[in-house]
Amino acid sequence: MAHGLLGGHNLSFAEINRTIADTLGVAPAARTIPAMLRRPLCAVVRLAERIPGRPAVIAADDLESGFYSRFYSSAKAEQRLGWPRWSHPSPVSIA
């Protein structure tokens, strides 16, 4: 079984989106969705998911997960596998 490892930099969603946009040569998103809209938006999307014959543009679970920050550590891979810490300032631009 193959495993993908990416570590060394924790970025906010805004930083990730800006880096991806820069890499693709496009403008980053102009606005973000305010956190207070998480519940009502997810409720509307959950209702839309129930419409038969019409695929949802985004799943409610995916929309909701965008409101949460996640940070991961590659320390275990570094210790057990000798995985080097990533020193490039923008790992996304190399991908």
pLDDT tens for the chain, 95 residues: list them: 445 555 666 777 788 888 889 989 999 888 888 989 999 999 999 999 999 988 888 899 988 988 887 777 777 877 887 776 655 555 555 55
Q: 17 with 29: CB under 8 angstroms?
A: yes
pLDDT score of 33: 86
- The residue type of 22 is D
pTM of the model: 0.56
pLDDT score of 39: 94
pLDDT score of 47: 93
- Within 10 angstroms of residue 64's Cβ, the number of other Cβ atoms is 16
Q: How many angstroms separate the CA atoms of 81 and 21, rounded? A: 32
